[in-house]
Amino acid sequence: MKDKKIAKKKKREKAVKKKIVARRIKTREEAREERIEKREEHRLRERIIPYVNPEKVEMLEDREQAREFARIERSINSDIEETKMTVLRAKNKGMAEEIISRLENNYEILLALRDEFLEEKERREAVNEELEEKGVSTLKEKMELLSKEAIETQKSEMVRGELQECDDAGCSCSHSYPRNIVEDLLDDAAKNNF
């Protein structure tokens, strides 16, 4: 009797195991098919390029750049504060003067870098505002306008004689550009209608 009960129980367990294995196989197969469908949809989506308003992209890039500048500024300020605290701790612990002087030097370097960063940031903002006042909004237009202005400045310097030309293409003088390089720049400018 016990043997029959044990045999019946084992038979039931085998049947349950078969059902569980069958369910697992079925769910795995469904998941695999779903993954394949998603991959195919993704491939099709990549082929279709949606219309994107370039001005909106430019605005997003400007916001991203502003976030990056803010992150850099926070990082610089935290580094400066950390270095300042390290200098104070070193003085309180009575560390060697050489170490303290190096830490103070590092602190001064960080302050100078921060000032340089802030000046560069202000300069960029001023240039951007100036370009936007001229009616230029996209990055491509800004770069084209700046390129035109640089070429015009170079042409006017050459006309006034501020930019001297050398005949030697391998010239290493500090006051001029070799003649063929200047001519190439002017030819490129004429070709590109700058």
- CA–CA separation, 5 vs 96, rounded Å? 86
Element spanning 166, H or E: strand 164-166
In order of 17, 21, 32, 34, the CA distances from 28 in angstroms are 16, 10, 6, 10
Unique residue bearing structure tokens 């769910």:
27
Expressed in percent and rounded to 5, the helix, strand and coil fractions of the chain are 80, 5, 15
Q: What size, in residues, is the chain?
A: 194
- Could you tell me which of 121, 148, 145 has the C-alpha nearest to residue 133? 145
Q: What is the pLDDT of residue 23?
A: 92
Element spanning 108, H or E: helix 97-133
Q: What would the two tokens of residue 69 be?
A: 């500048």
Q: What is the pLDDT of residue 177?
A: 47
Q: Using alpha carbons only, how large is the chain's radius of gyration in Å?
A: 35
pTM of the shown model: 0.43
pLDDT tens, position by position, 21-74: 999 999 999 999 999 888 887 776 655 555 555 555 566 666 777 778 778 888
Q: What is the pLDDT of residue 12?
A: 92
Residues of the chain with pLDDT under 70: 44-62, 158-194
Q: What is the pLDDT of residue 178?
A: 47
Contact 131, 62 (CB under 8 A): no
- CA–CA separation, 103 vs 83, rounded Å? 7
Q: CA angle at residue 124 from 119 to 126, to 5 degrees?
A: 95
